[in-house]
């Protein structure tokens, strides 16, 4: 077989392998994209829940501040 024919057959094989790899990649992307779950909307909080959480956080901060003044941290 001539050198030119061998080169041509190698190039043909490389192109075929490249197309197969590309096809598999596209198939995986399409399958993964379709199989993914749709994102769920974030739960909405009522104003009362927000206010309650803020009150709890504020009370916690006040308690921490009170504890800090009783036990000062030495430097």
pLDDT band, residue 30 (cuts 50/70/90): confident
**Burial code of 20-54, b = ≥16 C-beta within 10 A, e = fewer?**
eeeeeeeeeeeeeeeeeeeeeeeeeeeeeeeeeee
pLDDT band, residue 29 (cuts 50/70/90): confident
- When the pLDDT of each residue in the chain is averaged and rounded to a whole number, the result is 80
pLDDT digits (tens, 9 = 90+) for 36-68: 667 778 888 899 999 999 999 999 999 998 888
Place of tokens 């009783």: 70
pLDDT of amino acid 14: 78
């Amino acid at each position: 077989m001539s050198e030119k024919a061998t080169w041509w057959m190698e190039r043909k094989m490389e192109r075929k392998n490249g197309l197969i790899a590309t096809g598999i990649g596209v198939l995986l992307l399409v399958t993964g994209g379709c199989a993914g779950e749709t994102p769920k909307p974030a739960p909405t909080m009522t104003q009362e829940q927000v206010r309650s959480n803020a009150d709890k956080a504020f009370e916690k901060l006040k308690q921490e501040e009170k504890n800090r003044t009783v036990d000062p941290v030495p430097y």
